[in-house]
Chains A and B, each alone.
Chain A
Amino acid sequence: MRKFFDEMYIDGASNVRDHYREFEAWLATQSPKTVARKRAEADLIFRRVGITFAVYGNEAGTERVIPFDIIPRMITAREWAHMEAGLVQRVRTLNMFIHDIYHDQNIVKAGIIPPEQIFRNAQYRPEMQGISVASDIYAHIAGVDIVRAGQGEFYVLEDNLRVPSGVSYMLEDRKMMMRLFPELFARHQVAPVAHYPDMLLDNLRSVAPIGVTDPTVVVMTPGMYNSAYFEHAFLAQQMGVELVEGQDLFVNDNAVYMRTTRGPKRVDVIYRRIDDDYMDPLAFRADSTLGVPGLLSVYRSGRVTLANAIGTGVADDKSIYPFVPDMVRFYLSEEPILNNVPTYQCRKKDELSYVLANLAELVVKEVHGAGGYGMLVGPASTKAEIENFRQRIIARPDGYIAQPTLALSACPTFVDSGVAPRHIDLRPFVLSGKTISMVPGGLTRVALKEGSLVVNSSQGGGTKDTWILEN
């Protein structure tokens, strides 16, 4: 009996899940030489196309290709329908929550979330209090990380509502698979994803400031040395809009303009890939050279749309995460479709003592941590590491949450020794505008190290194509 759910095999290599049967049979007929050649080809193409991410801490401008695995992660139409309904419900709720806390704060008044959890949260932006944003949408683009555990149930691991990235890999991975293995697509009904940029552009146009009928949309990047620069450039190109940096924009007469070869041009919607802190040196970090002085004041008067809105981080924080199921009940009077992972809040005395007593079995996360940094995976840690974390938690219990170590599902993956199971997660990209929509699937990330549960690319993770099978 395996300790984790395997996406392809029911138990052992002899018993294949129905929806993987066709693929498994195909894979068995592929010679190792062919497979090796295809993998090398994929690497070469990714490098030539320049599908890279910048690596920090190395020589400036170092670019790396994220490892790509050619075994797709498959999800049945039925499973996807369930997940999609859950995602729509969850993201609708989160948008309502953000609107609520920057307006009437009914959820606090109702005693569901303690006020200090929100108003003392580092991601709470008092500047947004009472401000109206177009269509009351805050998280226009959400990346929701979903894992599969236990007997195959889906759990939401975290909500990314600030500048979630990875959608370009979802699209490029699909292109690569279709290029390398066209015959597989003839044998499977794989739901297409290539229309994502069109959906994104529609979505961004739908949230233009009131009165703007033909909005000018731009993508805003910190620049080419940002780790996700490829994605920023890719999305701007695919949508046919300008890719701007802060230095290309300026504020005049309560409007945002970009500097063009034919003079200033008004900008209405900014899909920004820069954190709140750097957006406007007059309002946030004064030392930021990435932002636009005066932007926030134009934004507050509703004359430009920022996607995502300022201050969305208050809702994707790990200390708010445990409340999401209650939010669903509060705002929609529905039961949550997707599970949360049971979460212990160290700020609560009884939960703290449980956490401290069981550190070796738990995963502990910093509430503001990201990118797989600042976490303790109990079962995979040394005594010294656990003791170190214990001291950190005792010193600042508010700063940590803990969760049981999930046996994340695994998907067969090519590694040095051949095909072996590696743990995966899934990040679907949910678009909110007049409606909530998404393309079927998302980015599957895979932890390439044996036994590792950390899938982030900054921690050596890879990606796979994600197939939603239409049957």
Chain B
Amino acid sequence: MLSRTADHLFWMARYTERAENTARMLDVNVQTALLPQSARSAEQGWRATLGISELQEAFDQKYDKLTPRDVLHFMALDTSHSSSITSCLRAARENARAVRGTLTTEVWETHNTTWLEMQNQIEESDFENDPSQFFEWVKHRSHLSRGVTLGTMLQDEALFFIRLGTFLERADNTARILDVKFHGAATQTGEKPGHENQLDFYYWAAILRSVSAFEIYRKVYRDAITPARVADLLMLKADMPRSLLASLTGVVDNLSMVTGDTHNDTLRFAGKLHAELKFASINDVLKEGLHDYLTEFLEHIYELGNRISREFLVPLAA
């Protein structure tokens, strides 16, 4: 397969996954904002959300002060920067268009239709008053593109590069959500002593919901929601679809499918990252410090993305 084609497929998948994750995160914030909380902690929550996507600076340049409405608009609909949901969906479609011949007709049409319907969705969904409807739609389109990809694509290199993009992006996103939310929790708990436990419950339940893990949590632990268990589930559970371990398993599986004998370095790097998660215990991670652990993990994911680019995607000179 052409290196450039692989690059477009990889980024098509990453942008689609990124749009979904941003929608999930914003949706949870909208839900959380319905709970009683101080103005300060509410603002912190929205700041943290901007932080996950590294958008603080860009936001502050555009707005004098922070309002939930502006953050939502900025992160969901603003096309002046490349991280908003609409920008991601557009980028996914542009990448798909560049390699439309490599995709099945169904996959291409799914991306193209998403892009065509986007404007209608925004207008019809009454985004200002009910943004959740739009986020639902984004999630559904992402589910659909993933499903149509798995359901129609030949299981060859093209599919493996798409899957690689999906899993790498997902690992990155779950780590970011977890990191920022744990940070947020540290400042949030203790604010209102009387409500502490109750607030904690809603807070962690919201995080679980952001990665579709609330029901799974119940099933797996059959116990009260604690931060340690949430971290355990989202990081180390192999059977939890959006956990770091599951994402890394997906990365390694697909990477080994596209790796020839000459490309062992990238696979080895991913394999070590995978093994580390596989044999980690949540108590050790928490003892070491979750933030430090996740910061390092994100650096490794970034490095892995670069290695994949260098080895497969960026056209090699003669």
Residue positions of A touching B, CB distance < 8 A: 47-50, 224, 233-234, 236-237, 242-245, 247-248, 250-252, 257-264
Contacts and interface: CB of A to CB of B under 8 A. Distances in A.
Contacts of B105: 49
10 contacts: A242-B1, A242-B2, A243-B101, A248-B315, A259-B316, A260-B2, A261-B2, A261-B161, A262-B1, A264-B318
Given A50-B112, A248-B315, A252-B318, A237 B102 contact: yes
Contacts, number: 68
A258 B2 contact: yes
Given A50-B97, A248-B3, A263-B316, 12 more contacts: A48-B109, A49-B109, A224-B94, A243-B102, A257-B318, A259-B2, A260-B3, A261-B157, A261-B258, A261-B312, A261-B313, A264-B316
A242 B3 contact: no
Interface in B98-137: 98-102, 105, 108-109, 112-113, 116
Contacts of A250: 317-318
Contact of A244 (B2, B6, B112): B2
Contacts of A257: 318
B83 to A, nearest CB: 20
A55 B313 CA distance: 30
B260 interface: yes
B108 A245 contact: no
A140 B318 CA distance: 30
Q: Which 6 A-B pairs have the closest CB atoms?
A: A237-B101, A259-B315, A233-B101, A236-B101, A261-B312, A252-B318
Contact of B1 (A50, A245, A261, A264): A261
Contact of B116 (A47, A224, A247, A263): A47
Contacts of B102: 237, 243
Contacts of B262: 263
Given A48-B112, A261-B258, A264-B318, A237 B100 contact: yes
B105 to A, nearest CB: 7
A396 B214 CA distance: 79
A67 B74 CA distance: 37
A257 to B, nearest CB: 7
B32 interface: no
A245 B100 contact: no
Given A224-B97, A233-B100, A237-B101, A261 B6 contact: yes
A463 B316 CA distance: 42
B109 A50 contact: yes
Contacts of A248: 2-4, 315
A242 B116 contact: no
B5 interface: yes
A261 B317 CA distance: 12
B108 A50 contact: yes
Interface string B3-17: 111100000000000
A402 B101 CA distance: 42
Contacts of B6: 261
A260 B1 contact: yes
A237 B102 CA distance: 7
Interface in B226-280: 258, 260, 262
- Specify which of B99, B101, B313, B318 lies most central, judged by the most chain A CB atoms within 10 Å of its CB: B101
Nearest to B104: A237
A263 B311 CA distance: 10
A140 B168 CA distance: 45
Given A48-B112, A49-B109, A252-B318, A261 B3 contact: yes
A243 B158 CA distance: 14
B103 to A, nearest CB: 8
Most B Cβ at <10 Å: residue of A245, A252, A261, A264: A261
Contacts of B260: 262-263
A259 B3 CA distance: 6
Contacts of A48: 109, 112-113, 116
B200 to A, nearest CB: 47
A262 B157 CA distance: 11
Contacts of B1: 242, 260-262
B116 to A, nearest CB: 7
A224 B258 CA distance: 26
A81 to B, nearest CB: 35
Interface string B76-108: 000000000000000000100111111001001
Nearest to B8: A224
A322 to B, nearest CB: 40
A50 B6 CA distance: 21
Interface string B194-207: 00000000000000
